[in-house]
Amino acid sequence: MCGIAGYTITAESGLDRTLAAQALLAGIAERGADAVGYAHRSPGGPIAVHKQRSGASALLEDIEIPSSSTDVLVHVRDYTKGHPQIEANNHPIRHGAVVGIHNGIILNDEEIFATHGFRRAEPQMTVDSEAIFALVEQSDDRASVLQELRGSMATAWLDERRPEIVFCARGAGRPVWLGEGHGATFFASTKGALEIVERTLRVGLRKRELQEGTLLALTEGRLAWRDRFTPDRSYEETLLPAVRAPHEGARCLRRLAALAAA
């Protein structure tokens, strides 16, 4: 059970970009400790990715988001397929022009690669999540292509060809919460993570859970458009606890409080 989070913010916003990312990471830290990573993008700039094989507490204080950044993705991993010893398997994952994060299990990733003739971004990669980003890269981010995926999914991605947009989608079996504020929109695996953002940044957010089968395009701190797709609901999964690394969550929240006070 991984954790995903991120935000889009206006270039003019006075919110602390680094503290916002740290708050999101602390909010999802309990959901996995096999690897952690984040990506960010400034207007007109490339997508920068940092990831490491550790829990969130080992990264929290080292996060650096430039003050010019407007788009951020954050991830903690509790891996199922694609061993975290291979860095390319950890999130954020790059496939071509797309950099993305995922919570869930894709059962037909090998079939998707074979059917479409996709090649792995790196030869040693085996992570199932890459199939999502291979599909959206080929399809120019259409919601309907997500219907090819079998399994469970909450996901978000940046596309170098769409420099103004953060995409966020919920399939079946995994939650996504949206928090909309003034000049900034956040998303996370849990409502609690958004509440941590509110307390840390001292902002108010209008919070709601996304429906299954929803794709959002977020830009300049707001919702630009939404689309619908029919997610796969055939996968029956043993109920997994959302809290997989409670010690990571506790450590991060203590450190976040100190960072916010400073």
CB atoms inside a 10 Å sphere around CB 170: 28
Alpha-carbon gap, residue 207 to 190, rounded angstroms: 10
Strand partners, 75: 4, 37
Structural domain tally of the chain?
1
pLDDT of residue 243: 86
Q: Does the structure show a pLDDT above 90 at 141?
A: no
What confidence score (pLDDT) does residue 262 get?
Answer: 85
What is the enclosing helix (H) or strand (E) of 145? none
* Partners of 243 in the β-ladder: none
CA–CA distance, 133 with 153 (Å, rounded to integer) = 12
How much of the chain exceeds pLDDT 70, in percent?
98
Sort residue 197 into left (φ over 0), alpha (ψ -120 to 50) or beta: alpha
Pairing of strands 214-219, 222-228: antiparallel
Confidence check: pLDDT of 237 > 80: no
For residue 192, the SS3 value is: helix
CB atoms within 10 A of CB 121: 16
Q: What confidence score (pLDDT) does residue 120 get?
A: 96
Whole-structure pTM value: 0.97
Pull the structure tokens for residue 166: 């953060």
Give residue 242's pLDDT. 75
Q: How far apart are CA 149 and CA 171, in angstroms?
A: 9
Q: What range does the domain containing 63 cover?
A: 3-261
Q: What value does the mean pLDDT take over residues 138-166? A: 93
Dihedral over Cα of 169, 231, 28, 157: its sign: negative
The domain that holds 218 is classified in CATH as 3.60.20.10
Q: pLDDT tens for residues 30-60?
A: 999 999 999 999 999 999 999 999 999 999 9
